Amino acid sequence: MSLKSEIFEQPAVLARLLENQKERIRAIAVALRDYDIRYLFLVARGTSDNAGLYAKYLWGAFNRLPTALATPSLFSLYGKPPSLKNALVLGISQSGQSPDIVQVMAEAQRQGVPTLAIVNAPQSPLAQMAQFVIDVEAGPELAVAATKSYTAQLMVIAMLSAAMSEMAGDTEDRWADLERVPALVQQALDLDPVIARAAERYRYMEQCVVLGRGYNYATAFEWSLKMKELAYIIAAPYSSADFQHGPVAVVSQGFPVLAVVPNGAVFADMFALLKDLVTKQGVELLAISNRDEVLSLAHTAFRLPSSMSEWLSPLATIVPGQLFSYYLTRAKGYDTEAPRGLHKVTLTH
Amino acid sequence: MSLKSEIFEQPAVLARLLENQKERIRAIAVALRDYDIRYLFLVARGTSDNAGLYAKYLWGAFNRLPTALATPSLFSLYGKPPSLKNALVLGISQSGQSPDIVQVMAEAQRQGVPTLAIVNAPQSPLAQMAQFVIDVEAGPELAVAATKSYTAQLMVIAMLSAAMSEMAGDTEDRWADLERVPALVQQALDLDPVIARAAERYRYMEQCVVLGRGYNYATAFEWSLKMKELAYIIAAPYSSADFQHGPVAVVSQGFPVLAVVPNGAVFADMFALLKDLVTKQGVELLAISNRDEVLSLAHTAFRLPSSMSEWLSPLATIVPGQLFSYYLTRAKGYDTEAPRGLHKVTLTH
């Protein structure tokens, strides 16, 4: 039962980060002001890459930083790394071990640009290579599918965004919002019995799409990855906009659409699409939200607290997705702890 | 039959670009030297976004430019655009009409950074907003699924890379390689009868993964999109590295893996993974390649010319993918010209 217990550890992990890392993160935000940073260059794989998508939207919106996702093969296999001048290079990794990720960090160091690692293993090669390191302190993660290390990465990303805003003179107090996150995540975990029952209906689902936009684009990708890793379902993640530029063609009567649609700036756009998909095309909608309109439209609805701030919602919206993936995996009779073909640490070049 | 005829127009479209646009593209490469460009900020949707992935790898490798994919919702729905200082903003679009894409370009103009549009509609809103415009001259594209506009976008991206290298003093003559592309694409089209026969085997395939890496990461995404748009197959694209960080779990005996594996710097890494997948996990491999090792490993093999340069291979490797998607759509009895739920011009916000 280690996967389930790791999912339930999340409020404690997040509370610990708020307690232990705030001053260190503020100090890093101060130190970063010495550099002329124009954009973020992000290197990560798998779940950590999905956490990076959150940074891309959050730091874009609040800290005005555009994000380039790295192309590790240019550094490793091609030996033709791009110039990183004026970049902040951010490596995110649970284990800090994959050689291609470490190689990008090494090149950043050679080029003399500032580097930051967000890891769950502060002694790892990735951390040792970076100028600044933040330990997500998630504790040992034994299940192959990452859960608590993901939300811990999101929390560090959110805290760093708040600290950078603060250092830039923004007077909005984002820390008060951050302090509410562990309780929000606990409320999402309280859906556990509802989700356990709901998963049964999807026992024979083999494929689906997962939609999310803006801050929750990351959630669509991470939920989709859990569905693939654990339940072996081909789950294809999209923003509601990208989905309409082609992939929507796959949809027919009864096709399952999983959607992450909390209240916020992208809600109206997402809701208009989902309403069309349900009423005109007859899709099966499973929604994670805190808005009545979409919850009542859905065949299966996971309701989150209405008080949630959109910018922090990804920390809570992924939780029903994790639990749903867990219970669906059990319903299908698969191994929740050690999915086929995977190891906890993946080494790619 | 407009989709098929548009696929077959590609050598002529590419030859026309080489003939008509070389000097204009060189002039743009010269003009761009006046700007202090640190990275590329790319805005596109659907097929054009996949063409952008080619720019990300090609310009990264040859022109040392990192690429950030835009987050259009930050510009439109959130109203919180990031700072684009030191970026070159590149918009790629067949129609040049989607409001979210146009809005990013408008913001770039407001911020005073250089902007370039690659379009098939030089009078479109996107083109009118951009400082520099390159017309891909693909002619009217009537089929909803884009084919010739995609390879034309790749060609412009490749020509611009060659021109920028030239202006930076690189003495390698990449134009000679470019001149060979129309003939290479014609050789790929000559596989037509082979592909028509091969598609039958996949009549009942409902899902698959599509693998490609480096320059052909774009090909994996674009082939996957054609499979979704036309044949309504849930095709999930990955780099061979990202695939190993989780999604590989979906694979079981007989699972279809489509792979784009031309000779080049990433071949050995891709081949090692594919060999494992076939010999240890019993996947069904469909390969587009010009290397015997992988063609003989595959259940279905589409052989391309051995003389192809890796950096230009995406212009040829997508062609068997387009034809396969076309014939599979016919085998399934679907409409190749007007896929359900799609329009030629998609307007998203």
- Output the CA torsion sign for B100, B103, B107, B108: positive
Q: How far apart are the C-alpha atoms of B111 and B113, rounded to whole Å?
A: 6
**What's the CATH architecture for B3-179?**
3-Layer(aba) Sandwich (3.40)
Give residue limits of the domains in chain B. 3-179, 185-331
pTM score of the predicted model: 0.96
Is pLDDT above 80 for B170? yes
Place of tokens 């494929």: A207
Is pLDDT above 90 for B28? yes
Mean pLDDT across B64-79? 95
pLDDT of A37 reads: 97
Say yes or no for a CB contact (<8 Å) between A249 and B77: no
Chain B residues with CB-CB distance to A233 below 8 A: 250
Say yes or no for a CB contact (<8 Å) between B82 and A66: yes
pLDDT of A215 reads: 98
CATH number for the segment(s) A185-331: 3.40.50.10490
Answer whether B231's CB lies under 8 Å from B332's CB: yes
The strand order across the sheet containing B300-303 reads B234-238, B207-211, B256-260, B284-289, B300-303
SS3 B124: coil
Answer whether B101's CB lies under 8 Å from B46's CB: no
pLDDT of B30 reads: 97
SS3 B285: strand
**Which residues are paired to B68 by β-bridges?**
B41
**Is the minimum CB–CB distance between A245 and chain B shorter than 8 Å?**
yes
Mean pLDDT by groups of 10 residues along chain A of 349 residues: 93 98 97 97 96 98 97 95 98 94 96 98 96 96 96 98 94 92 98 98 97 98 97 95 90 96 97 96 97 98 96 98 98 93 85
- E strand residue ranges, A158-272: 207-211, 234-238, 256-260
Please report which confidence band the pLDDT of residue B223 belongs to, taking 50, 70 and 90 as the band edges. Answer: very high
**Is the minimum CB–CB distance between B37 and chain A shorter than 8 Å?**
no
Q: Which of residues 258-287 of B touch A (CB under 8 A)?
A: 265-266, 269, 281
Please report which confidence band the pLDDT of residue B1 belongs to, taking 50, 70 and 90 as the band edges. Answer: low
Minimal CA–CA distance to A35: which of A131, A135, A105, A127? Answer: A131
Minimal CA–CA distance to A59: which of A156, A177, A181, A157? Answer: A157
For an interface test with B, give the residue of A73, A147, A221 to mutate (most B CBs within 10 A). A73
pLDDT of A1 reads: 56
Say yes or no for a CB contact (<8 Å) between A66 and B64: no
**Residue A298 backbone class (left: φ over 0; alpha: ψ -120 to 50; beta: rest):** beta
Angle at A155 between CA A151 and CA A158, to 5 degrees: 135
Q: How far apart are the C-alpha atoms of B283 and B274, rounded to whole Å?
A: 9
Answer whether A253's CB lies under 8 Å from B232's CB: no
CA A67 to the chain's CA centroid: 15
pLDDT of B325 reads: 98
- Asked whether the domain spanning B185-331 has the same topology as the one spanning B3-179, the reply is yes
Angle at A55 between CA A73 and CA B101, to 5 degrees: 80
Say yes or no for a CB contact (<8 Å) between B249 and A39: no
pLDDT of B288 reads: 98
Mean pLDDT across B208-219? 97
Q: How far apart are the C-alpha atoms of A175 and A178, rounded to whole Å?
A: 5
Alpha helix locations (H) across B78-180?
99-111, 125-129, 148-167, 174-179
Q: How far apart are the C-alpha atoms of B2 and A8, rounded to whole Å?
A: 55
Tell me the C-alpha to C-alpha distance, in Å, between residue B279 and each of B61, B204, B298, B303, B331: 33, 23, 11, 21, 29
Q: How would DSSP label each residue in A51-109? A: HHHHHHHHHHHHH---EEE--HHHHTTS--PPP-TTEEEEEEESSS--HHHHHHHHHHH
Chain A residues with CB-CB distance to B346 below 8 A: 244-246
Q: How far apart are the C-alpha atoms of A290 and A264, rounded to whole Å?
A: 10
Is pLDDT above 70 for B260? yes
**DSSP for residue B215:** G
End-to-end CA distance of chain A: 32
Say yes or no for a CB contact (<8 Å) between A249 and B340: yes
Chain A residues with CB-CB distance to B249 below 8 A: 228-230, 232, 339-342
**Is the minimum CB–CB distance between A104 and chain B shorter than 8 Å?**
no
Return the axis-axis angle of helices A313-331 and A192-199, rounded to nearest 10°. Answer: 40
Nearest-CA distance from B22 to chain A in Å?
25
**Is the minimum CB–CB distance between A291 and chain B shorter than 8 Å?**
no
- E strand residue ranges, B20-154: 39-43, 67-69, 87-93, 115-119, 132-135
SS3 B259: strand
Please report which confidence band the pLDDT of residue B15 belongs to, taking 50, 70 and 90 as the band edges. Answer: very high
Answer whether A230's CB lies under 8 Å from A145's CB: yes
Say yes or no for a CB contact (<8 Å) between A82 and B64: yes
SS3 B312: helix
- Mind listing the pLDDT tens digit for each residue in B115-154? 999 999 999 999 999 999 999 999 999 999 999 999 999 9
- Mind listing the pLDDT tens digit for each residue in A46-82? 999 999 999 999 999 999 999 999 999 999 999 999 9
- State the maximum Cα–Cα separation within chain B, in Å, rounded to a whole number: 56
- Output the CA torsion sign for A301, A306, A312, A316: negative
- State the maximum Cα–Cα separation within chain A, in Å, rounded to a whole number: 56
Is pLDDT above 90 for B78? yes
pLDDT of B204 reads: 97
Say yes or no for a CB contact (<8 Å) between B249 and A339: yes
Place of tokens 């076309």: B326
CB under 8 A, 24+ apart: contacts of B200-205: B200/B331, B201/B299, B201/B300, B202/B256, B202/B286, B202/B328, B202/B331, B203/B328, B203/B331, B203/B332, B205/B233, B205/B256, B205/B328
Q: How far apart are the C-alpha atoms of A85 and A66, rounded to whole Å?
A: 14
Q: Which of residues 146-205 of A touch B (CB under 8 A)?
A: none
Say yes or no for a CB contact (<8 Å) between B86 and A38: yes
Say yes or no for a CB contact (<8 Å) between A46 and B349: no
> Does ipTM top 0.90?
yes
Q: Read off the amino acid at residue B267.
A: F
CB pairs under 8 A between A and B: 223
Q: How far apart are the C-alpha atoms of B8 and A66, rounded to whole Å?
A: 39
Say yes or no for a CB contact (<8 Å) between B73 and A251: no
Q: Which of residues 307-336 of B touch A (CB under 8 A)?
A: none
Instruction: Kindly report the average pLDDT of chain B as a whole number.
Output: 96
pLDDT of A78 reads: 96
Q: How far apart are the C-alpha atoms of A13 and B187, rounded to whole Å?
A: 57
Please report which confidence band the pLDDT of residue B190 belongs to, taking 50, 70 and 90 as the band edges. Answer: very high
Nearest-CA distance from A102 to chain B in Å?
14
SS3 B293: helix
**Which residues are paired to B236 by β-bridges?**
B209
Q: How far apart are the C-alpha atoms of B125 and B307, rounded to whole Å?
A: 40
Q: Read off the amino acid at residue B270.
A: M
